[in-house]
Amino acid sequence: MATAISLVLPMFNEGPVVEATLSHALECLDRLFEDFEIVVADDGSTDNSAQKVARWAARDARLKLVRLPNNQRFGGALRAGLSAASNEFLVYTDFDLPVALNSLPQILREFSDADVLTGYSDSVPKDANWRCRVISLGYNSLVRGLFGLSLRDINFGFKAMRKSVWDQLASRSCSPFVDAELFIRAQRQGFRVKEVAVPFSQRQLGASHIRRFDVIAATLWDMARLRLELLHVQKRQR
């Protein structure tokens, strides 16, 4: 495709999967796109993840490493990665690449009537066990109730947007709530948000850090902050 894309990968302690992720991503994108870059946004990893990515970046100019000094709980890393990206379309996914990159050309055609894309799986269950399912169901229900955001899976591991849209969204969340905040702000600013079915596979290597207690607490804090901000805006507009 002639479309220029930036693949943004937030990273925290992903040492065991760095080699496999970067090798697979570069091979797929090089085959599918004329112009691309991969931006890895390191969220203060304490293992050797950043060092491994830095060695790859030194060998391939299409790979960029953005390092945050402290653990920003995913949201800060994602914002830093999206801000550092330079191409027309921004695609971001979990570092272990749960979405088949081979399907990107077909998925990106959905931008014909959308400004922001969010994925969902219509075949493989995203949540591996009952605890994950309970947390996911509770989180999605809470976001729908507080903000009226009706999406199948708000924190699914694939999102894409036009860079011009990202440049206008004033996201502040430093937790996984950053996804929901982006959608909420995009819809309130009149951008078109579209859900698309994407091929999905469960994580095979490494471990997810998104369901730690401190991450859940930060998510609830960001949720409350945005809710209060929007209530204040509504009060001023009356």
63-73 average pLDDT score = 77
Tokens of 94: 């979990």
How would residue 60 be classed by pLDDT, with cut points 50, 70 and 90? very high
131-135 average pLDDT score = 72
Higher-pLDDT residue of 126, 187: 187
How would residue 66 be classed by pLDDT, with cut points 50, 70 and 90? very high
Percent of the chain scoring above 90 in pLDDT = 49
* 8 A C-beta contact, residue 56 and residue 81: no
Which domains can be identified in the chain, with CATH numbers? Answer: 4-237 (3.90.550.10)
pLDDT at 124: 57
Task: Please say whether the dihedral angle defined by the alpha carbons of residues 217, 219, 222 and 224, taken in this order, is positive or negative.
Answer: negative
183-211 pLDDT tens trace? 999 999 999 999 998 887 765 555 555 55
Place of tokens 């969340």: 173
How would residue 57 be classed by pLDDT, with cut points 50, 70 and 90? very high
pLDDT at position 69 over 80: no
Percent of the chain scoring above 70 in pLDDT = 88
* Spatial separation of the C-alpha atoms in residues 94 and 157, rounded to whole Å: 5
Question: What's the pTM?
Answer: 0.85
Q: Give the chain's mean pLDDT.
A: 86
Of the candidates 234, 223, 211, 238, the residue with the CA atom closest to the CA atom of residue 145: 223
Of the candidates 62, 69, 8, the residue with the CA atom closest to the CA atom of residue 30: 62
* Spatial separation of the C-alpha atoms in residues 238 and 236, rounded to whole Å: 6
pLDDT at 1: 65
pLDDT at position 110 over 80: yes
